[in-house]
Amino acid sequence: MKVEFAPFNIPLARRLQTAAGLQWVLTFLLLGSVSVSKKSVSHVLSKEGGGNISVIVLGGAEESLEAHPGKFTLFIRQRKGFVKIALTHGAYLVPVFSFGENELFKQVSNPEGSWLRTVQEKLQKIMGFALPLFHARGIFQYSFGLMPYRKPIHTVVGRPIPVRQTPHPSPEQIEELHKTYMEELRKLFEEHKGKYGIPEHETLVFR
């Protein structure tokens, strides 16, 4: 297998950059990270002996553009591929939510329909990833920079959702399990939001 690294073009810092690049790649591989493609996830779940899990961040690039402090918008309504894979392999679904993630950075206002959002969405289609304009604090000052704010992140894990293995799930079965997953995720949020300072009227917004 051939692995190609991106070029490091600053001569004076080449050794340092190379070391940092290798460290990132090795960390990525040692953690067992793989592509989120159907083939990769199916490979992980079908390994001999069982006991393997896949952790998938569902929202993707679209969701990052909605990651503003105090907002809880999840792009999940059209994300059903993970449900189909779970049914195919009989893998339980476990809802997980992290409180505080959107508080680490502030993002420039980009409501839908604005010129900034339009540009971001067009670039996303071209490049395959989003470019949110964010800022937070500096290393030695708290006014401006790209270092995250010192805010806690609390990750809560819900009850596993039993999934009976169905080699060829129907659209109705996929839809039903997807609906159950969203319901359990909302219950998880509602159950814990008070502990982490989320106002009672706030709730998850599924898109």
Rounded distance, CA 134 to CA 125, Å? 20
In a domain, 17, yes or no: yes
Model pLDDT, residue 165: 96
Give the predicted TM-score (pTM) of the model.
Answer: 0.81
Rounded distance, CA 27 to CA 16, Å? 16
Residues 88-126 as b or e (16 or more Cβ within 10 Å = b) = bbebebebebebbbbbbbbbeebeeeeeeeeebbeebee
Number of domains the chain contains: 2
In a domain, 74, yes or no: yes
Q: Does 98 lie in the same domain as 194?
A: yes
In a domain, 142, yes or no: no
Rounded distance, CA 17 to CA 8, Å? 7
In a domain, 41, yes or no: yes
Q: Does 93 lie in the same domain as 39?
A: yes
Q: Does 100 lie in the same domain as 2?
A: no
Range in 11-20, 52-61, 98-107, 198-207 the model is least confident about: 11-20
Domain hosting 22: range is 1-33
Range in 21-25, 86-90, 173-177, 199-203 the model is least confident about: 21-25
Count other C-beta atoms under 10 Å from residue 193's C-beta. 19
Q: Does 184 lie in the same domain as 162?
A: yes
Q: Does 155 lie in the same domain as 96?
A: yes
In a domain, 70, yes or no: yes
In a domain, 130, yes or no: no
Q: Does 2 lie in the same domain as 98?
A: no
Q: Does 176 lie in the same domain as 93?
A: yes
